[in-house]
């Protein structure tokens, strides 16, 4: 992902120009996260994985200028090691 694309995403977060899917909200609750945690992660975090070939099928972009956060989860490095 190019730097400019990341900055565009971060700018949308700063402006509040995004929505959360019901699934993302459920996942946040499961991991005891709140919206501030998600915002902070997007604004200050780093990309650890890019998935280009999603087995669930084609994705469609809407005509709006808003982003949709579809899932949220905590990466716990101590659990992964």
The tens-digit pLDDT sequence of the chain (81 residues) is: 566 888 988 999 999 999 999 999 999 999 999 999 999 999 998 877 767 777 776 555 666 678 888 888 888 776 554
User: pLDDT at position 16, please?
Assistant: 94
Angle 38-10-23 (CA atoms, 0-180°, nearest 5)?
Answer: 40
Find how far residue 34's CA is from the centre of its chain.
13
Q: Which two tokens stand for residue 51?
A: 């998935």
Residue 48 CA neighbour count, 13 Å, CB half? 9
Tell me what pLDDT residue 10 has.
93
Return phi, psi of residue 39, to 5°.
-60, -45
The model carries a pTM of: 0.71
pLDDT at res. 40: 92
């Amino acid at each position: 992902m190019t730097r400019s694309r990341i900055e565009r995403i971060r700018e949308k977060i700063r402006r509040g120009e995004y929505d959360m899917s019901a699934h993302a909200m459920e996942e946040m609750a499961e991991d005891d996260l709140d919206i501030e945690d998600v915002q902070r992660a997007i604004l200050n975090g780093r990309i650890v994985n890019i998935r280009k070939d999603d087995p669930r099928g084609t994705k469609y972009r809407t005509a709006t200028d808003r982003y949709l956060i579809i899932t949220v989860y905590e990466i716990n490095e101590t659990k992964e090691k």
